[in-house]
A = this chain, B = another copy of it.
Amino acid sequence: MLKRFQSLANPNEVYKDVRKIAIIDVGSNSFRLIVITYVPGYHFQVTDEVREAVRLVQGLGQTGFMRAAPMDHAVETMQLYAGFCKASEITDIAAVATSAVREAKNSAPFLERIKRTSGIDVRVLSGEEEAYYGYLAAENSTTLRDGYVLDLGGETISLTLGAVRTTEEWLSEAPASKSAVTRLRKHIRDQLEALPWFKVAPKTRLIAQGGSLRNTAHIVQKMNDYPLDELHGYLLKSSDLRHAIEEMEPLSVEKRQQIPGMKFDRADIALAGAIVIDECMRYADYERLTVCSQGLREGVFYERFLAENKPPIFEDVRRASVMNVAHLYHYQASHVEHVEHLALSLFDQLKDDELCGNNERALLWAACMLHDIGMTIDYNDHHRHGYYLILNSGLPGYSHRELALIALVVRYHRKGMPESGNLGSILEKDDDKRLLKMTALVRLAEQLDRSRDGSVKDVRLSISGDLAQMEIVSPVDVSVAIWSAQRHVDIFQAAFGKTLEFIPVTV
> What CA separation (Å) do A452 and B83 show in the bound complex?
8
State whether the Cβ of A4 lies closer than 8 Å to any Cβ in chain B: yes
CB–CB B454/A87 < 8 A: yes
The stretch of A39-47, A59-67, A300-308, A347-355 that contacts the partner chain: A39-47
State whether the Cβ of A318 lies closer than 8 Å to any Cβ in chain B: no
CB–CB A47/B480 < 8 A: no
CB–CB A9/B11 < 8 A: no
> What CA separation (Å) do A79 and B381 show in the bound complex?
26
User: Provided the pairs A87-B452, A388-B388 are in contact, do residues A379 and B48 lie with their beta carbons within 8 angstroms?
Assistant: yes
Of B18, B37, B49, B83, the residue contacting A455 (CB under 8 A) is: B83
Of B327, B381, B450, the residue contacting A8 (CB under 8 A) is: B327
A50 nearest in chain B by CB position: B450
The stretch of A179-187, A389-397, A436-444, A460-468 that contacts the partner chain: A389-397
The stretch of A244-252, A272-280, A328-336 that contacts the partner chain: A328-336
Chain B residues with CB below 8 A from A455, complex form: 83
State whether the Cβ of A14 lies closer than 8 Å to any Cβ in chain B: yes
Chain B residues with CB below 8 A from A388, complex form: 388
CB–CB B87/A379 < 8 A: no
Contact with B along A325-366 (1 / 0, CB 8 A): 001101010110000000000000000000000000000000
> What CA separation (Å) do A377 and B12 show in the bound complex?
20
* Distance from A17 Cβ to chain B, minimum over Cβ atoms (Å): 9
State whether the Cβ of A178 lies closer than 8 Å to any Cβ in chain B: no
CB–CB B3/A4 < 8 A: yes
Q: Is the interface of A mostly helix, strand, loop or mixed?
A: mixed
State whether the Cβ of A420 lies closer than 8 Å to any Cβ in chain B: no
State whether the Cβ of A310 lies closer than 8 Å to any Cβ in chain B: no
State whether the Cβ of A192 lies closer than 8 Å to any Cβ in chain B: no
Which A363-381 residues have C-beta < 8 A from chain B? Answer: 375-379, 381
* Distance from A11 Cβ to chain B, minimum over Cβ atoms (Å): 5
* Distance from A267 Cβ to chain B, minimum over Cβ atoms (Å): 15
A81 nearest in chain B by CB position: B451
State whether the Cβ of A20 lies closer than 8 Å to any Cβ in chain B: yes
State whether the Cβ of A80 lies closer than 8 Å to any Cβ in chain B: yes
CB–CB B381/A229 < 8 A: yes
State whether the Cβ of A203 lies closer than 8 Å to any Cβ in chain B: no
> What CA separation (Å) do A67 and B172 show in the bound complex?
86
CB–CB A8/B328 < 8 A: yes
* Distance from A332 Cβ to chain B, minimum over Cβ atoms (Å): 7
State whether the Cβ of A429 lies closer than 8 Å to any Cβ in chain B: no
* 11 sampled A-B residue pairs with Cβ under 8 A: A3-B6, A6-B7, A8-B327, A11-B37, A48-B452, A86-B453, A87-B452, A88-B332, A88-B452, A377-B389, A381-B392
Q: Which 7 A-B pairs have CB atoms at the shortest separation, nearest pair first? A: A87-B453, A7-B8, A83-B453, A4-B4, A80-B451, A5-B6, A83-B451
Q: Can you add 5 more A-B contacts, CB < 8 Å, to A88-B332, A377-B393?
A: A5-B8, A7-B7, A11-B37, A84-B453, A381-B392
